[in-house]
Structure 1
Amino acid sequence: MEQTITAKLQILVKPSDKQILCDTMKAYSDACNYVSDYIYKTHNLSRYRVQKDTYYQVREIYGLRSQMAVSCVRTVIAKYKTILENQKEWIKPVFRLPQLDLVWNRDYSLNNKNDIFSVNTLNGRIKVSFFKNGFEQYFADSCKFGTAKLVNKHGMFFLHIPVTYEISELDRSEVSNVVGIDRGIRFLATTYDSKGKSTFYDGNVIKQKRAHYKALRKQLQQVGTPSSRKRIRSIGQRENRWIQDVNHCISKALVENNPDGTLFVIEDLTGIRSVTENVKVKDRYVSVSWSYYDLEQKLSYKALKHHQLVEKVNPAYTSQTCPKCGHIEKANRDKKIHLFCCKNCGYKSNDDRIGAMNLHRMGIELLVPDAVAAE
């Protein structure tokens, strides 16, 4: 099967070329806003029609190259489709930050011998070197590059390149270890494996830091000035980067601390945000806003790379079921003291560990009748 990751490479731009890149990115964003205005007025998402009605205008007004003009239309249409899918209404996207989409072998190419990228701009092509940052394995001939995004952060330029490569997926018959992973707030992840070992990834420090961000945003919202609103956006971006880094570290530890042939079993948390109806307003931010999906995505692609597998199962009653006798009762779990005590057989343990144990059991059941892992 094929797997795609995004390689974020810092490129080294000559001082004389920096302004050229900045001007090209600004022109591309302005052209995207022009196309966005057209689509918002016409509600037309036909790529053929949009390109026909805007192609020559964006080339003439903004000086875009041929492929850039085509990419501009694709970028805006994709943005509209995402908004319609998520928001179910027509909302006009605004491209505030300078950006540039580069099509492989048209707008950018790579000289493997010299490790030099050739990047297209309004003034023709420029040559840039780059830091591989541990991505050397993705520059093999078998890897395919996709449409890259050029980003400028704090005066530094980065190429975000989708890299697709072949990978052998783990077959269930090859599974030799099953790990149940319960995700939560007190512990971001709690695991239980086929050897009966449990691992807890503490979330208390995370909870405190997120409370700090929330309080800081509240203070700035009360100020209500343009600078405070700008600061709020900056804090949100900083928190998102931090959340992604935490999830990266947890997912990396999970795949590296378990052998090849491991099946990770997690709860299918699709629609988790709808549970806000049953959560007090003051607790909603903490309860449902952690990016469990981001952790799931990072774990899934890292697991494939290590010849491991991730399976999602129904989360119903995983915290109320006794892993020893199978008795299901809501009263088995005391959320206040984080203790599980079976009303039938008396088995006691941490409630997050119970969830991981039940997920481990469900993983074993997935492998039946050809299970090769034993409890």
Structure 2
Amino acid sequence: MRVTISAKLKLRHSPEQKAMLDAVSLAYRDALNFASEKAFEMDKTSSAPKLHKETYAVLRERFGLGAQLACTVERQVAANYKTQWTKLKQNIQARERGFTKRRYKGLDAAPRFVSRTLEYQYQRDYSWKKDGRVSISTLAGRIVLEFDGYTKHLESIAQGCETGAAKLSYQKSKKQYFLIVALNLDLPDPRPTDHKNVVGVDVGQRYHFVATDKDGQSLFEKGAAVRQRKDQFARTRKSLQRKGTRSATRRLVAISSRERRFVADRNHLLSKMLLTRFPGSIFGLEDLTNIHDRTEGRRNPKASKKAKRAKRRRSQWSFAELQSSLAYKAPLHGSLAVRVEAHYTSQACYKCGHTSKGNRPGAGLEFVCEVCGHRGHADRVASVNIGLRTMLVRQDWMSTGALSVRPDVSDVEVKAARLSRYAELRWNPDTSLAL
């Protein structure tokens, strides 16, 4: 099993070496903007080969980039335009379905690149030295630098783990360059017998997560404090936007970066909390693809302040970052994360199987089954249902040898078959759930 992690290395550069890194990063950014303008003129093309024919010679001569860096510029610009086209198509579909009235304007002008970040290819633009240093390509040739980083990452590099592409990133506040390297780690292939515990994880906004294992032990993590901090960021951002001055704009950039770091740090802590509390487990995560499109609804200019605040909170819900953080950390801690369908997890009674919106009175946190009368915390009920579905995945894995079973039928039939199997699942705390 191969796992890719990112190692952030702090480069120890002298003033002369920093000037060389400044030159190559600024030239790379200018080259990106030049290629972006050319792609826009070529009917907003997302084809790297077409862009190569038009820009390669200019990128080499005018900006002084090496052959590999020039090709990387073309691929990055082409990928950016492909992303813009995808967002445009998604916006058209959302407008047709009435989710929004706003027209996507990302392709009205050529995308601009502002960040001083460039991509290096291993053994072409950068390489490791035997003495624990790194060789980096610049406009004036190679420079060899020492670096610092997380101890485990440094050990993996010293042991010769497979290395992928790297990004040279500049932190303006510290006037410091970092090299963010992709490390490919080879881990033992997981087996069902390696994971004795199954944990269902329900993510939300009022509670960042509610996790319940096969023995009924639950872990709740409230999100009120984080929500208040985000609201504070929102109020500050709104006040600065009203001023509209240049200093306010600079402050907005700083606030945005601070909020992004705060959210990322929080999600990393939450994922680590789960892995520490339930070691060696299979974590079941809800597949919440396109959840924002399903929950945002239509834009209402006459909405109350409370409704607008709720919509803003939904749009800032960073469940995907939490799930991805847990997914990539799990194999490193001897655990595993799988995705299961999220349909009706908080509406289905895990004791009698009755599924209905009426089981959630007032769409609140209380769950009351209309048939058997079972009561409980709605998020905990959802986590139990997710855990049951994860157990089903584990059973299929043990019987078939494959972690995911995908019948050769249409998506609609797959969904119907799986939901039918889920409706038969029951959980009884008096019954042993030993796996």
Q: TM-score surpassing 0.5?
A: yes
Taking the aligned partners of 1:298 and 1:340, their CA distance within structure 2 comes to 29
Contact 1:169 1:307 in 2 (8 A): no
TM-score (norm 2): 0.80
CA apart distance, 1:337: 5.6
Aligned positions of 1:1-375 closer than 5 A: 1-42=1-42, 43-88=44-89, 90=107, 92-112=110-130, 114-134=131-151, 135-139=153-157, 143-153=161-171, 154=173, 155-172=175-192, 174-260=194-280, 262-274=281-293, 275-277=295-297, 280-334=307-361, 338-368=365-395, 370=398, 374=434
User: Which AA in structure 2 matches 1:10?
Assistant: K
Taking the aligned partners of 1:80 and 1:169, their CA distance within structure 2 comes to 37
* 61-70 or 29-38, larger mean C-alpha shift: 61-70
Aligned CA distance change for structure 1 residues 169 and 285 (closer, same or farther; 3 Å): farther
Taking the aligned partners of 1:23 and 1:137, their CA distance within structure 2 comes to 31
User: Which AA in structure 1 matches 2:195?
Assistant: V
Taking the aligned partners of 2:296 and 2:277, their CA distance within structure 1 comes to 34
CA apart distance, 1:229: 2.7
Secondary structure (helix, strand or coil) at the match of 1:321 reads coil
Secondary structure (helix, strand or coil) at the match of 2:62 reads helix
Query: 4+ runs of 1 displaced by more than 6 Å?
Result: none
C-alpha offsets along residues 156-199 of structure 1, whole Å, 9 cap, x if unaligned? 11001111222234234543111010101111010000121000
* 264-273 or 278-287, larger mean C-alpha shift: 278-287
Taking the aligned partners of 2:277 and 2:189, their CA distance within structure 1 comes to 19
Structure 2 segments unaligned to the other structure (5+ residues) = 90-105, 300-306, 400-431
C-alpha offsets along residues 305-326 of structure 1, whole Å, 9 cap, x if unaligned? 2232222222222112222222
User: Which AA in structure 2 matches 1:356?
Assistant: S
CA apart distance, 1:141: 5.0
Taking the aligned partners of 1:304 and 1:76, their CA distance within structure 2 comes to 33
Taking the aligned partners of 1:67 and 1:259, their CA distance within structure 2 comes to 43
Secondary structure (helix, strand or coil) at the match of 1:254 reads helix
Aligned CA distance change for structure 1 residues 116 and 335 (closer, same or farther; 3 Å): farther
CA apart distance, 1:367: 2.9
Contact 1:101 1:147 in 2 (8 A): yes
User: Which AA in structure 2 matches 1:330?
Assistant: K
TM-score (norm 1): 0.92
Aligned CA distance change for structure 1 residues 142 and 334 (closer, same or farther; 3 Å): farther
User: Which AA in structure 2 matches 1:104?
Assistant: Y
CA apart distance, 1:14: 1.2
CA apart distance, 1:28: 0.8
Contact 2:46 2:79 in 1 (8 A): no
Aligned CA distance change for structure 1 residues 150 and 342 (closer, same or farther; 3 Å): same
C-alpha offsets along residues 244-266 of structure 1, whole Å, 9 cap, x if unaligned? 11111111121222232x11112
Cα RMSD after superposing both structures:
2.2
C-alpha offsets along residues 321-349 of structure 1, whole Å, 9 cap, x if unaligned? 22222222323224576222223222222
Percent sequence identity over aligned pairs: 33
Secondary structure (helix, strand or coil) at the match of 1:319 reads coil
Contact 1:217 1:232 in 2 (8 A): yes
Contact 2:27 2:63 in 1 (8 A): yes
Secondary structure (helix, strand or coil) at the match of 1:147 reads strand
Taking the aligned partners of 1:368 and 1:62, their CA distance within structure 2 comes to 58
Secondary structure (helix, strand or coil) at the match of 2:119 reads strand
Contact 1:80 1:92 in 2 (8 A): no
Count of equivalent residues: 373
Aligned CA distance change for structure 1 residues 338 and 47 (closer, same or farther; 3 Å): closer
C-alpha offsets along residues 215-241 of structure 1, whole Å, 9 cap, x if unaligned? 111111211223323322322222112
User: Which AA in structure 2 matches 1:201?
Assistant: E
Contact 1:272 1:288 in 2 (8 A): no
Taking the aligned partners of 2:314 and 2:65, their CA distance within structure 1 comes to 46
CA apart distance, 1:211: 0.6
